[in-house]
Amino acid sequence: MMVEKFTVVASRSPDAQSALREINARYETCGVEDADVIVALGGDGFMLETQHRYLNHGKPIYGMNRGTVGFLMNEFSVERVKERLAVAHKSELHPVRMITETVNGDLNEALAINEVSLLRQTRQAAKIRVSVDGIIRVPELICDGVLVATPAGSTAYNLSAHGPIIPLGSNILALTPISAFRPRRWRGALLPHEAEVTFEVLEQKKRPVSAVADYTEVRDIASVSVKMNSNVTIHLLFDPEHNLEERILNEQFTP
């Protein structure tokens, strides 16, 4: 891709701020509106924050790791930044849309790039009815919570909850219980990306539940619907030798 101008954003960590100063000293950068590419310096958390912040700009984002894990980031270097941007591979991601209704009847919407998760708010386990495309699939899930993960988010919270890793481009969502007590042997499901998942909270006052779309939280929910929003596209850039599809594939063979 042709890259004439790029902008740089960085997390507040000392390493990211130091990298920001290095790049600004060596290259002529610009504002977001005039940029062909957004370069993000930080870790995976900052990359997620950057994707949300610039969701409506339509600019591809190229991350360089100045955090810890850096699963969504490229290796940091101040050398040949423009050349790396020009030959980077593009991956397209679509978020899921969460629509919640609280016990008071309030409606809220939020987008999640990684996952939508429902979590118990008190010491008592949650009781949740799970439906897919209007058909009840789990009449009563007794659990700490349950989540719907995108392919990009399948290696995050979903993996920690023993959910499957999903390759990009597979058009699949992961439906994964969190510490399920009943049904004891249910380990979740893989769903087509166009599926709509609905969660109904049972015994709402006795067993309150919150819903989180990435880092947007709504408490005391009565119901939640989750569906992929194909109208919103996020473009991430990766060095050819270390693109996101290859990382997700490698993760499935990591001991």
Catalytic positions are 44
Give the residue among 143, 132, 178 at the shortest CA–CA distance from 159: 178
- Give the Cβ contact number of residue 79 at 10 Å: 7
Give the residue among 108, 74, 114, 109 at the shortest CA–CA distance from 94: 114
Query: What pairing do the DSSP bridges indicate for beta strands 37-42 and 6-10?
Result: parallel
**Which token pair is 210?**
């919150």
Could you tell me where the DSSP H helices lie in 116-221?
157-160
Query: What pairing do the DSSP bridges indicate for beta strands 115-120 and 135-143?
Result: unpaired
Residue 84's identity, in one-letter code, is R
22, containing H or E segment: helix 14-26
**Which token pair is 143?**
């659990």
